[in-house]
Structure 1
Amino acid sequence: MRKAFGLALVLAAAACGRAPEHGGGAGGGSTAEADRSSADERAAAPAGIAPTAAPGVAFNYKYAFRLPAERISAVQEQHAQACEKLGLARCRITGMYYHLTGDRNVEARLDFKLDPTIARAFGKEGIAAVAHADGLLVTSEITGTDAGAAIDVVNRDQAQQAEALRKIEAQLAQAGLKAPERVELQRQAQQLRETMAGGKAEKADKQESLANTPMSFAYEAGDMAPGVRRSLSDGVGNVIAALEWMLLALLTLLPWALVAGLVWWGWRRFGAKPKRPVEA
């Protein structure tokens, strides 16, 4: 019953929503469709930040998309090919994930390391590819870390540590040091060397974050048909839900109505009849 209602309503909606073939020509329809598609892409694209607008800041881009399950694999492959075309020096794929659960529930992910100067444009192109596949950007997160300031702090600390180490080594080079003093100076020198090594590793990590921008694309299944199709789909769903509710109410009340009807009929048919007055 439910499938029959749904099929009838979808066919009726499709017949009503079919565009007329006369007037305007095919070219006009294609132009209007292209304009709507461009408008959808502009509306879906988030505000980006160029590295030149925030020098010394290491960014991390995260995007989440929703699109029809059967198109996720193709869009994921399209994003991967776009990265490969840029070359390893500008884009590297660092992770890929695709998982199908049930019949139509898909979860997927694609991770990149990008040249910071092209990260913003790459993200916008990725969003456009999803929009062309009837998908939608549902989450956009761009976080930044002031790596340049952290590098400056490490440089200052290392300069001070290097000067302190130079003084200790000069003391160790002096003759006549007592054994306890020499042991203590050697301990301090070793501690300074270890601290400087840690600062060097931290500095290298910050420089890496400035040279390569991480970006991740997350995909999940969902019907994101834009514009009129989405409204039509929602309307059909609401009508079907209302009919289902009415059918449920009818099936719930019908047995009680039948029982009440049978009681009334039995009372009228077999119930006690009023006595006729006795004639004088």
Structure 2
Amino acid sequence: METSDAAEPPAGVAVTAAPGVAFNYRYAFSLPAPKVAAAQETHAAACEKLGVARCRITGMRYRLTGENAVEAMLAFKLDPTLARAFGKDGIAAIQQAEGRLVDAEITGTDAGAEIARLTDERARARDELARIDRELARTNLSASERAELQRQRADLVAQIGQVQSASGAQRESLANTPMTFDYRSGPAVRGFDASAPLSSALDLLAGSAQATLAFVLGALAILAPPGLVLGLGLLLWRWLRPRFRRTTSVPATSD
């Protein structure tokens, strides 16, 4: 008996299991070409239903790459506490559309540790800035010493700004989880699938027949016009040849 194509979806990672880690989710789906747009719309509607505070669509692509071939993408920014459930619901929607999950990748960055490092770096820079300000308050500094301290102070102010920007980016990654859905038309894997041998064999047969028919039609499109011209030429030659012979075989009259 044939088994179902639907595999158990990946569980994802709960934020409570990895505090301070910023995750990035990416899923790839394969489904029939006519259903790609509807699946993409279903996922977009699910995000909109959550509201912009918890889910935002950050990118979308739909591209027809062939007569019956489609590639599409949908990108989100999600509340981290909802990412795991949103991914599982997204997979379920694909399975209902007769598609399947073909790839899942969840990567994480230890944003908490990076924020702590940046916090320490900013504290050291601020301590050094306070020391330089105390030096600049002295009245017995030479012009060269004052110029050097002012240069160091400007460097520290720029460093503190860069650290604050980097820390803000890390906090943003913890507050919003990126998730990308990639769609492509067709079966997940061409060829034989041990979990569903009958459907895989039929799919292989259909693909082979389609390729053969395309080859035959292509050959006809290339060879038919020259063949037609050659055939017409032969018919014309067969029609003219007897007349040409009669003309050349008329005996010469004697004097």
Give the letter for the 1:104 counterpart: N
Assess if the C-alpha contact under 8 Å between 1:147 and 1:207 holds in 2: yes
Deviation, structure 1 residue 223: 3.4
Q: CA distance change for structure 1 residues 224 and 176 in 2, over 3 Å: closer, same or farther?
A: closer
Q: How many residues align?
A: 206
Cα RMSD of the aligned pairs, angstroms, is: 2.6
- Cross-structure match for 2:134: 170
The answer for the alignment partner of 1:71 in structure 2 is: 35
AA partner of residue 61 (structure 1): Y
Maintained 8 Å contact 1:44/1:127: no
Please state how far the C-alpha of 1:176 moved relative to its aligned partner.
1.4
Match of 1:144 in 2: 108
Distance between the aligned counterparts of 1:173 and 1:105, measured in 2? 71
* Residue 231 of structure 1: aligned partner: 197
Shift of 1:47: 3.0
SS in 2 for 1:171: helix
Alignment of 1:64-213 (within 5 A): 64-213=28-177
Residue 229 of structure 1 deviates from its aligned partner by 11
- CA distance, structure 1, for counterparts of residue 169 and residue 202 of structure 2: 54
CA distance change for structure 1 residues 148 and 236 in 2, over 3 Å: closer, same or farther? closer
| 3-state secondary structure, aligned to 1:203 | helix
The TM-score, its normalising length taken from structure 1, stands at: 0.68
**Equivalent of residue 22 in structure 2, options 42, 45, 58:** 58
d(CA) in 1 for partners of 2:146 and 2:195?
Answer: 82
Q: 1:151 to 1:165 in 2, by over 3 A?
A: same
Q: Contact conserved, 2:72 with 2:182, CA < 8 A, in 1?
A: yes
Residue type matched to 1:215 in 2? M
Counterparts in 2 of 1:100 and 1:60: CA distance versus 1, 3 Å:
same
The one-letter code sitting in structure 1 at the alignment partner of 2:15 is P
Percent identity reads 53
The gaps in structure 1 that reach 5 residues or longer are 1-16, 18-35, 246-280
Contact 1:134–1:224 (8 Å) recurs in 2: no
Measured in 1, the distance between the counterparts of 2:186 and 2:203 equals: 15
**Partner residue in 2 for 1:221:** 185
Alpha-carbon distance between aligned partners in 2 of 1:177 and 1:229, rounded to the nearest angstrom: 82
Question: Against the structure 1 CA distance between its residues 96 and 125, is the aligned structure 2 distance closer, same or farther, given a 3 Å change threshold?
Answer: same
More helix by share: 1
How far is the alpha carbon of 1:235 from its aligned partner?
3.3
